[in-house]
Amino acid sequence: MFAKDSKIETSSGQKKTNPSVLEILIQLKSMEGNLKKLDLHQIGNLDRLKKSLADKNEKAAEEYMKKF
């Protein structure tokens, strides 16, 4: 799963093709409840994606804070 390929479903049932990092992190958190359905390789990929997105989110917040 690549962040750019993920599709987040909105409350109206439509698919968002370009979700924000926060939306992807929320989706990943909800997917963690279904880990029984994933194999070890998929879980590893999910963990790496989650860490990568969290790092990007922190960097974006730091850049935003520097502006003010």
Give the residue with greater pLDDT, 6 vs 52: 52
Is this prediction's pTM over 0.85?
no
Confidence of residue 3 (pLDDT cuts 50, 70, 90): very low
pLDDT of residue 11: 56
Packing angle of the helix pair 21-31, 40-67 (nearest 10 deg)? 150
DSSP reduced 3-state for 14? coil
Tell me the C-alpha to C-alpha distance, in Å, between residue 25 and each of 6, 55, 67, 68: 11, 11, 25, 26
CB atoms within 10 A of CB 53: 18
pLDDT of residue 56: 80
Q: How does pLDDT run across 28-55, given as a tens digit for each residue? A: 777 777 666 777 887 788 788 888 888 8
pLDDT for res 12: 59
Domain boundaries, the chain: 3-67
Quick one: 8 exposed, middle or buried, by C-beta within 10 A (0-12, 13-18, 19+)? middle
